Structure formats: structure tokens, C-alpha cells
Structure 1
Amino acid sequence: MANERETKATAVRETEGAATELTAEQKAQQQERILKQIAKELQLPHSKVKASVGLLDEGNTIPFIARYRKEMTGELDETQLRDIEERLQYLRNLESRKLEVIRLIDEQGKLTAELRASIEQAVKLQEVEDLYRPYRQKRKTRASVAKERGLEPLAVWIMAQPRQGSLEQEASQYIDADKQVHTAEEAIQGAMDIIAENIADDAKIRAWVRKYTHDNGIVATEAKDPQQESVYEMYYAYQEPVRKLPPHRTLAINRGEREEVLKVRLEVAPERIHDYIAKQIVKGDSVVKSTLQLVIEDAYKRLIAPSIEREVRGELTEKAEEHAINIFAENLRNLLLQAPVKGKVVLGVDPAYRTGCKLAVVDETGKTLHIDVVYPTPPNNKVAEAEAKVKAAIEKYGVQLIVIGNGTASRETEQFIAELIGKMKGRGLQYLIVNEAGASVYSASKLAQEEFPQLDVAERSAISIARRLQDPLAELVKIEPKAIGVGQYQHDVAQKHLDESLKAVVESAVNHVGVDLNTASPSLLSYVSGINATIAKNIVKFREEHGKFQNRMQLQKVPRLGAKTFEQCVGFLRISEGGNPLDNTPIHPESYEVVDRLFRELRLELSQLGSKELKDKLQHADAETLATKLNVGVPTLRDILDSLQKPGRDPREELPPPIFRTDVLQIEDLTPGMQLQGTVRNVIDFGAFVDIGIKNDGLVHISQMSDTFVKHPMDVVSVGDTVTVWVLNVDVKKGRVGLTMRNPNGGK
């Protein structure tokens, strides 16, 4: 695969405004080809792919299909469904492009049956573009100038590779001052330019050279200024085979080149390529054999090599971006699904130096109770005054936890809070430092201005920091996903693709957890299956005007929330204290009748929901036998039985809570071999950053994650995991700590 993104852009520009209508039969054949291709690529049964595509085409969302249409898809999960959706879009675009290319070539009168078949059988956009390349209108080239001068017949004569005659004598016939061909040498050069362009446009040759370059090429980098100090010094004289270059190095090299620190080239020995092209072009001994050899070398060096280098580097970049986005997406999902800390009054602290630390006390529901500012850090150092204010707030509002943002002045603020906790030992206070990435983005946003119009940016940030502990998902959805800070090279990838992928992750996480219809913000509601920003605002407005929702059916009265949207969203919305207990479960209203039949079959009452008796009966129920009796699919019934056993359950509550602290640990306190508990903050290709309670996170390199081989850090840890680590090395000057998860005591 070459740089598909660039190829797609070219294709779109050429086909704008053009359309090729298909008959119903042709459309059906095209659809079947696409379904077979997806099934083959993803190694899925054709029937499951067909059903999934049908549901997607009907406008169903992926969370809805994955949860409520399991019988139809054969229980495909969200990842499989998103893969199907992505390939479906790609292959449909590919089919459209094939039709346009066929039409464009046919209009030139150059479409042969063989060429049509080659285009129709192509499975990648790059293959189609390679086949179209010789027929695409080009800007002025050396070959096009030579054609204008009437030298194409000479090129044809050379390609016939005659065994007798004289090239110079043949070329002398094309000398024509009016056409600016003054000598036989000029005529020969023009003919060679035409042949070189034809060779460069040959689809088979390009495909072979592209693969050979990928398999045998070397990415070489060097410094533009070897004396300049930079983060790219390891690349000042660096080489690595194309096929072995890992994604994070690809993106680092690209960034170094973009910042004009590095020069990058792709090296490949040309002799093998010259030999291959010669085998395709040269037919044996002829009077033009040496001329053709020169043409081949020129075609490769001037036309093929630069183009293929761009394509191969484009492919490397695209794969690296895809990988980086997947890493970011997985980290984001794990961060969003961290365990909420419920039922606690929390003091949020946004640290700062000159402007002071902003304080925000929020109650158990996240409602703001108190806002203040204190100045315990330099240059003000008003420690006593700050102590009095914070202590008063803790006592007045019954604060149980203190959350500190990890930004500027966090270390000094942590020291201040730890000392205060030491003076208030009887209260059982604890503190936690949270990653405040994105808090400032949210605080300055239009959304935050609407939520807290009377507060300044820093005060809003303190509220956000406090709420992140109480419900990470509900708070983090207010922030642009790429600003949350758990990515790697997120600024170096295609932003549109990144945004789409991260939005899908947030949507998946929100629908996995479910949303309280009576407390959710518009931001949270907008990620629910089928609900857009307008409908989310309408739901909140309806709630404000009519009071809390008493049942899910009331949603149908919300303006612009139609039947399809209701079907898609209702199962993911919860009402905790409504008229129907089933409204507080993931069971879709379309299955309420099934629940009714189930309860009659098991002689249970809806009022028993949550009781031990009901739970025990449902645990021992035979889903397969009951499904037949109740005329319902087994997967759906299994989900119903599970939901009935845990009404109102938040799946995040099963995860371990964060690590709370009461005292400060400083880098100077660390010694090699020291055992610590930490929280994984970020996972990257070469390891994981772990919060062990000091200012900077420590790094566990991939080689230190296990006594056995680890292919990728994500196979071992995830964002939010609590891990046991040992200090490996400490660099106080640089503030760096190396950690290991391999027990230095051999597991004893």
C-alpha cells in the first residue's frame, strides 16, 4: 500500500462532478464483491458481514448494533464492526474510482478489454491509480514536449528494437527547425524522454519497484547542523531498513525533518532495479540496446525513484500514524473507564505560583460548594493564611479527599497539602495528584463559559480537577479528546483521522458505561448512540422545563428526537428512581415484553429486582432452554439475565480505585531497589510512564516489564492500572527515574 491518503485526494479532484450510474443488477454485483472482499480480509463469515453492512446502511450506530443486534451479526464486537465499517467505506470509494477511471480512459478511446479487467480486479486504490497513470493528463513534461515536436514515431522505432540500421540515421529524419529539433542528438534525446516516461508509467514496473524498495530500502538520516544540540541527536547519523523502522521512529524522523533539523533520504541499490526493468523492456541484442539501457537508468533515477520514495515514505507515515492513533485510542479508553470515586466531598486544587492556587470544593454529586484562592507557593509564600483558609473549607464542607493538578507548582502545592494533612490527622484526609491535561482547554471553552459564566478560567479548572476524580468519564468528555494527554506524537498525525478515532473511543466508553438521563450534561449525552449535540441540548432543556424523567418513554416527547434516534439511544440511558425498575438497566425497551414473559416463567415479580432471591434464580437459569421457550435469541437473553442480576451497576466500579497518599515522596528519597506502588499514566511503544508520587512519572522500559519477551507494553499494562515497581536508577539532576516491574528479589 502506498500513500493512500494522497492518492485518494488526487482521485477526488479528478472525479468531482462526474458520476457513473449503475443498474440495479450492477449495484447488487458490486455490493456482493465488496462483501466477499471484506469477509476475506477480516476472516469473517460472509453472513455476518452482510448482516452488519445491512444494519449500518439502515443508519444504526455501532454501539447499538454491538449491544442489541447480536443475533443478526453473530455477536460481532465493536472493534469488528468498526473494521467492517472502515473497509466498507474504503471499498465503496474504490469501486466508484474504478468506474470513473474506466470512463476517463474510455473517453480517450484507449480502453481495452484487458485494461478494463485489470482495473476491475484491483483491490487497492494504488493499483487503480497505477493503471490510470499513463492516461492521466499531465503537466508539461520533457516527454510531452518531445511528442509536440513529432518525436513519438522515433520512440516507437526504438522500442521495436531493430537488429539492423542506424539510430543516428533514423533520427536525422526528424530534424526540423520549425519544431525546434536541430540535430539528430536532440531527436534521440526527445525519443528517449518519451520512452522513459512510458517506463515510469508502467503499472507492473512501478508495483515491483515499490515492493523492492520497501523490502530492501534503507532510511538514512543526518543532521543539517551536526553542532546543533537537539532532541534528535540519535538521528544525526542514523540508518535503518525500511521494513524494520518502528512507527515511533518514523514519526520522530518526520518531525525532525519538518523542523529542519534532519535531512532524510531513502537509499536503495539501483542495479537490481535496472536489471528488472531491462528484462521487461529489452528483447535481446539490437542496434538500440545501449540506448535503452541509458533510458532505463534515466527513467528510474529521474522519474521512478523520487516518486517511489515519496510513496514508500508516505506508506511508512500512514502506518505509523495508524499505530500512534491506535495507541492513543487504547490509552484514552482505559483513562475514561477508570473507577469513579463516588460519595465523597472533594477539594480540587489548581496549583500556580504568582496567581495563587485556585480551590474548588464539590459535593458528592459534583455540585460546586465553595471557590477560593490561596498563595502558599513562591513568590507570595502566604502559608499560614493558606492553611487557615483550606482548613476552614475542609471543616465547613466535610472534605474527605483533596485532588491536586499536576501542572506548574504542583510539587510545592503537594508539600503544602501533605503538611496540612499531617496537622489534621484525625480527619482521615488523603490526597491524589491527577493529570490535568486538557483542564485549561476545557476551562477556556465555550462549554465551560456556559456552565460557569461567573467564574474565571482557573476557578473552572479547579472544579474540573475535582470532578475528574469523582467521575472521570463525565468530566473528560467535556474536553477535546486529543487534549487529554495520553497519546504519543498526536500532533504529528492526520488530525481528521485522529479526531474520528478518538470520538469513536469516547462514544464506545460512554455507551459501555451508560448515562444517567436525569443528571448527564449535554457533553455526555452527545456521545450516546444516535444523539447529536442539538438533541443533547434539547434533552437537558426538556428536563429543566418538565422536571426529571420518570420513564424512558418520555424521551419521545423531546423535540427532534425521532423514532430512529429513540431506538438507538434509549437502551444506553438510565433512570435510577423512575416508575419502571427496568429503566435503570441496559435492557432495551423492545425487550421489556421478553422480561415480562421471563418473570412469569420463573414466577418472579419485578418488585424483586435487586433481591438475593431473584439473583440466585437468574444465576441458575438455563439461557438456551429459556430462549426457546420465550422465543428470543440466546445472546439477547444472556444480556437480559446479566442486567437483571445487577440493576444500576456501573461496570467501572469493579476496577481498583486510585492510589491515595498522605505524605510527599521526593526524588531524593528514592534509592535503587526500593519497592513502590504506582499508577500507569501513559503507555507508549517503548514502555510506560508510572506515577509513583513524585513530580515526574517514572519510566518502565519495555525490557523491564516482564521476565519474558514483551511484544508491546499494552500486552502487560493499561492506563489506570495499579502496579508494583522497583526503582532501577535515579537521575536527580534531570529529574528522571527508571523503574522495573521485574522483581529484583526473584519474586521472593
Structure 2
Amino acid sequence: DAEKDVDTEEAALAGAMDIIAEIISDNVEYRDIVRNIVYKEGILKVEAIQEDEDSPYSMYHDYEEPIKSIANHRVLAINRGEKEKYLKVSLILPEERILSKLISKVIVNQDFYGKAYLEESLEDGYNRLLFPSIERETRSNLTERAEEDAIDVFALNLEPLLMQSPIRGKVVMGIDPGYRTGCKVAVIDDTGKLLSYTTVYPTPPREQVDRTKEQLKELIHQHGVDIIAIGNGTGSRETELVVAKLLEELDKRLYYTIVDEAGASVYSASKVGEEEFPDLDVTIRGAVSIGRRLQDPLAEFVKIEPKHIGVGQYQHDLNQNRLDEALEGVVEDCVNRVGVDLNTASPSLLRYVAGISSRVAMNLTKYREENGRFISRKELLDVKGLGPKTFVQCAGFLRILGGEEPLDNTGVHPESYRIARELYKMDLDKVDAANLSKELDIGLITLRDIVEELKKPGRDPREEMPKPIFRTDVLEMEDLQLGMKLMGTVRNVVDFGAFVDIGVKQDGLIHISHLSNRYVEHPKDIVKVGDIVEVEILDIDVNRGRISLSMKESN
């Protein structure tokens, strides 16, 4: 047919073979055959585009691993290396066996005169269409699985970070370390109010150590500083050394601690940071945030998007909408478990309370500014945009300290105040919950929750969490010795282990194989962010700044 550019037998045959190749490629049964072989026998092969020993992906320069067993964190690492043009990735399959299996399915009659053409069409369909399609699908499935796992790990790490024990009633000096632009210093009182700020230059290139110590001493004596919080970013180590020497010279007992400053710069440049401190330099806002993170981690961390907090792995490579959705849920759960002081909470914190939108959060703070402190939860109904439906959702999570109604400072919802008052008349340690729930016509779980609230009114569940490690001196990498045992704080938990701050510049890694004497399926089963753990030093690589740790018990 010349009109269709098929003017020879060869062209007609080639066209027919192309059609057969496409039919074979699209056949569901044949795709399943290849897909099953890929999962059972497929191998992911990774090669370096350019050999470079200093590349962050050097371990993948000549790497192969079965599809069925490759770890999720390796999938994400390989994907990133490929995206950054360091690595080339391909799929290795038993091609001959796949083709043989497909041929036996497609060509039933071995005496068929067109067998050779069918085999050629099948091979072409496999190589040109079916294999590339299955390869893309396999890589996509691996990535999706790895991303879901990474999001779960991020959410798992975020919860204990937000639920860290607050340090109350202390005047804190927050230090945001730096080199060329100096270290920003902010002193905040026990409510988080900024008292004073300055910039010091103890780090290179200026190295004004003596001048820095004098400036810090003056602020410490002037404002009665109790604790110094040092951010763990650039220049942290040098700043820590100066602070440790300073503490030796003071006539009062003072401690310092290292605070994770992930996301502090995001807060500093954000609309929230600007609204809180419109006249402050962006960098000073960061120092304030570091100090406040020690006083109340939850209240400070909610001011930035959760994905900027940095307690996961490969978060910038993940599906951002899915990540945001998962992390927002974690923050909301933590805020509602802890409860919120209605008279001090920022709009950033209030918006995570069940039922409260960003607009209503702003209206709550505006009402507070115009009318003074809330003295009753009933006043919530006077706030613009907060109707009866929202009241039912949020009232139990909003606390009023020193208000008209003592129950307003508990997690008991106003709808249950009648029950709570009945319980006040009883010995809460001897309550027969099963019978009483029937007598008072209330659910058993709800009744038990009310009893627990009344036993510890206004309690903060974070108080039960481990406190941060406070230090007076500093360790160098050179001070470490094999076999030495130290206490440290878990900073991050990932698929292959946990990173622990042991008081030196570089966090140490406890590989999953050294977390316990027993088999560990995932590090999250043993540790979580914020845990205080005892570790033993297994290996020290000063040149590469790596420390290997173990939590295994000695035999």
C-alpha cells in the first residue's frame, strides 16, 4: 500500500513485526512473567561515570545488589548519585531465560512457518519496549518503597525531638556560632523574652578569645544566666572550646549544652521570625531560637516547616507533599498531647491545635492582646471565627493556668466537667472504673483519661522524657580511646544505625549490627531521637572525622 508508505514486502513484514512486538510488550501475562523474574533474580548494577575516590558515592562505583534485598537507604543514595551525574544505574536480568520463557508462551506450534519472524519480533519487543518499561517500573517501585520508609523514619524521629523535656525556669544564653561574621549571642529570660544580644568573634579569622570571654562574662553576671545553649552548626566546636574555658573562670556553677540548630536559619528569615523581632538582624533571631529550643523545643520547632528540622534521611529527595502531610500530622499529635497554654502560645503553636486554622490562631492572639488574659475556656466562643463546632474540637487541648475554673488547666474537656467534679469527691486511686463508667454513663476509656488528668492536673508528658546532657568541659577527637565508654545523646535514627553526640565535633555512628547483642530488624526498635545512651568506642578515623560506636553489652 503505497499510500501508507508500505510499498515493498520487506516494509510490510517490518511493519507487521513492529505491531507484534508492541502486542507482546503490552500483554499483561508476559509483563507479569518478566516482572516476577526481575523481583526474584534481578540485580541493580551501579557504576561510576567518573572514578573519584573523594566522591560521596565512592562505595557505589562498582556495586551490585539483588533487587529483592536492596536496602531502602541505598536506593535513595543511588538515586541521588544518579541525579547528580556521579553514577550510572542499570538492571541486570537473565535475558536468555526470559526470552526462552516468552517464546514458549508465544509460539505454541513449533512447526509454524513464521516462527523465525515471531522470535525476532519477540526479541525486538523485549529489548526495545518491554525491558525498558519494566526497568522504569522497577526503579519507580523501589523509589516509592524507599521514600515511604524514609518518610516513616523522619516522622518517627520527629516525634521524640518535639517531645524533648523542656528546661523551665532558667535564663538561657543562646549562641549561634560562625566564622567570618562572628558568633551571635542572645540572652533570654525564663519566659523566652529577649533581654540582650551581641556579636563576639572567638573563631577564625579574628580569634578574639579573651575579648569574647569578657563580653560573655558581663552578660552572664548582668542577667543571671543559668545555662548556655550552643548551636551545632559551623564554628560550633571552636565556640564550645571557648565556652568551656570560660566556665572554668567563673565564680558560679554554670553548664552548657549543644542544641540542634537545624532550621534555625529558616526561622530567622521567615515571616514568623520577622513578626516576632522586626527590628532584629536575621542572625540574632537565630541565636534567640537556639536558646528557646532548650527552654521549650516544641513551642520553638513549630515555627518552621517540619521538613527543615533535619532528623531524617534524603528528605529533599522525597515526595514533598507526602512528607509535609506525614510530618504535619506528627506535629499536630504532639501539640495536642502536650496541650497549649492559651495565654502564652504563639499563632504558630495554636494552629496545630485540633480544629484551629491559621486564621483562628491569629484571631486568638488578637483577642488576647485586646482583652488581656483568658480567664475561662468559655471565652473562646467570643473569638471571631471560633464557633461551637470548633470549640468542641479544641477546648480540651487549650490550658488556662490560674483561671476561674481549675479544670481549665487540665486535659478534661468542658463537656466532661460534671463527671470530673463527681470524681473529685472520690479517692482516685480506688476508683472502680468499670462499674463507675456505667453509673455515670460515660465510656470506660474516657473515664480513665479523666482520672489520670485529675491525678496530675496540668502535667506535661514531656517531663518524663530524658533531659539533655549538660557539660562543663569539652572532649577532642584526640582524647578518645578505643574501648572508652561515654554517655551520649541520640541525634538521628536512620535505616542503617543511629548517630550519637558524645561531646566531640563529629557525631559517632552506632551501626545497626552494634545496637544490641540480639538481632535488630530496625534501629527504631532500640533507640529514638533524644535518648541518653552509654556507648563504647570501636573505631576512630581522625582523618575522615568518623567515630564508630557500640551499645552491645560486654561478655
TM over 0.5: yes
1:228 Cα deviation from its structure 2 partner: 6.5
Matching residue's letter, 2:41: N
The equivalent position to 2:530 in structure 1, one of 720, 739, 742, is 720
Alignment-derived partner of residue 629 in structure 1: 439
CA contact (8 A) 1:726 1:743 kept: no
- Does 1:676 pair with 2:486? yes
CA contact (8 A) 1:224 1:262 kept: yes
1:503 Cα deviation from its structure 2 partner: 1.1
1:636 Cα deviation from its structure 2 partner: 0.8
Matching residue's letter, 2:542: V
Partner of 1:277, secondary structure, is helix
In structure 2, the CA distance between the partners of 1:228 and 1:403, relative to structure 1 (3 Å rule), is: closer
The equivalent position to 1:502 in structure 2, one of 327, 330, 338, is 327
Deviations 1:333-353 (A, max 9, x none): 111111111111111111122
Matching residue's letter, 1:687: G
Alignment-derived partner of residue 652 in structure 1: 462
The equivalent position to 1:454 in structure 2, one of 237, 258, 279, is 279
Using the TM superposition, name which of 188-197 and 342-351 deviates more.
188-197
The equivalent position to 1:197 in structure 2, one of 13, 19, 22, is 22
Deviations 1:383-419 (A, max 9, x none): 3332222112111211111111111221121111111
- Does 1:218 pair with 2:28? no
Aligned-partner Cα distance in 2 for 1:410–1:596: 53
Structure 1 segment 245-284 matched on structure 2, within 5 A:
245-284=70-109
Alignment-derived partner of residue 486 in structure 1: 311
Structure 1 segment 317-466 matched on structure 2, within 5 A:
317-424=143-250, 426-466=251-291
CA contact (8 A) 1:418 1:663 kept: yes
Alignment-derived partner of residue 415 in structure 2: 590
The equivalent position to 1:513 in structure 2, one of 324, 332, 338, is 338
- Does 1:547 pair with 2:357? no
Structure 1 segment 85-96 matched on structure 2, within 5 A:
none
Deviations 1:80-131 (A, max 9, x none): xxxxxxxxxxxxxxxxxxxxxxxxxxxxxxxxxxxxxxxxxxxxxxxxxxxx
CA contact (8 A) 1:667 1:732 kept: yes
CA contact (8 A) 1:217 1:241 kept: yes
1:294 Cα deviation from its structure 2 partner: 2.0
1:508 Cα deviation from its structure 2 partner: 1.3
Using the TM superposition, name which of 732-741 and 443-452 deviates more.
732-741
Partner of 2:274, secondary structure, is helix
CA contact (8 A) 1:725 1:739 kept: yes
CA contact (8 A) 1:337 1:473 kept: yes
CA contact (8 A) 1:336 1:476 kept: yes
Partner of 1:742, secondary structure, is coil
1:371 Cα deviation from its structure 2 partner: 1.3
CA contact (8 A) 2:171 2:224 kept: yes
CA contact (8 A) 1:667 1:694 kept: yes
Unaligned 5+ runs, structure 1: 1-175, 605-613
Partner of 2:510, secondary structure, is strand
- Rg larger for: 1
**Higher RCO (Cα < 8 Å, 6 or more apart):** 2
1:185 Cα deviation from its structure 2 partner: 2.1
Deviations 1:141-168 (A, max 9, x none): xxxxxxxxxxxxxxxxxxxxxxxxxxxx
Structure 1 segment 95-244 matched on structure 2, within 5 A:
176-226=1-51, 229-244=54-69
In structure 2, the CA distance between the partners of 1:591 and 1:280, relative to structure 1 (3 Å rule), is: farther
Aligned-partner Cα distance in 2 for 1:363–1:179: 84
Partner of 1:707, secondary structure, is coil
1:355 Cα deviation from its structure 2 partner: 2.1
CA contact (8 A) 1:729 1:738 kept: yes
Deviations 1:42-77 (A, max 9, x none): xxxxxxxxxxxxxxxxxxxxxxxxxxxxxxxxxxxx
In structure 2, the CA distance between the partners of 1:735 and 1:236, relative to structure 1 (3 Å rule), is: closer
Unaligned 5+ runs, structure 2: none
Partner of 2:499, secondary structure, is strand
Structure 1 segment 667-706 matched on structure 2, within 5 A:
667-706=477-516
Matching residue's letter, 1:532: S
Alignment-derived partner of residue 556 in structure 1: 381
Aligned-partner Cα distance in 1 for 2:176–2:423: 52
Aligned-partner Cα distance in 2 for 1:721–1:227: 37
1:556 Cα deviation from its structure 2 partner: 1.3
Deviations 1:315-350 (A, max 9, x none): 000000111111111111111111111111111111
Root mean square deviation, CA, Å: 1.5
1:574 Cα deviation from its structure 2 partner: 0.9
TM-score under structure 1 length normalisation: 0.72
Alignment-derived partner of residue 736 in structure 1: 546
Aligned-partner Cα distance in 2 for 1:208–1:434: 53
Deviations 1:210-254 (A, max 9, x none): 232222211111111235741212211111111111101101111
Alignment-derived partner of residue 113 in structure 2: 287
TM-score under structure 2 length normalisation: 0.97
Alignment-derived partner of residue 534 in structure 1: 359
Deviations 1:603-645 (A, max 9, x none): x1xxxxxxxxx6xx11221110100101111111111111111
Matching residue's letter, 1:454: D
Aligned-partner Cα distance in 1 for 2:246–2:158: 34
Aligned-partner Cα distance in 1 for 2:207–2:76: 43
Matching residue's letter, 1:620: K
Matching residue's letter, 1:652: R
Matching residue's letter, 1:713: P
1:597 Cα deviation from its structure 2 partner: 4.1
Alignment-derived partner of residue 297 in structure 1: 123
CA contact (8 A) 2:493 2:499 kept: yes
Using the TM superposition, name which of 209-218 and 310-319 deviates more.
209-218
Aligned-partner Cα distance in 2 for 1:227–1:397: 53
In structure 2, the CA distance between the partners of 1:189 and 1:709, relative to structure 1 (3 Å rule), is: same
CA contact (8 A) 1:597 1:630 kept: no
Identity of aligned residues (%): 56
Matching residue's letter, 1:354: R
Alignment-derived partner of residue 348 in structure 2: 523
1:276 Cα deviation from its structure 2 partner: 3.6
Aligned-partner Cα distance in 2 for 1:391–1:226: 52
1:594 Cα deviation from its structure 2 partner: 2.4
1:197 Cα deviation from its structure 2 partner: 1.5
Partner of 2:521, secondary structure, is coil
Partner of 2:175, secondary structure, is strand
CA contact (8 A) 1:598 1:630 kept: no
Structure 1 segment 14-29 matched on structure 2, within 5 A:
none
Matching residue's letter, 1:226: E
1:279 Cα deviation from its structure 2 partner: 4.2
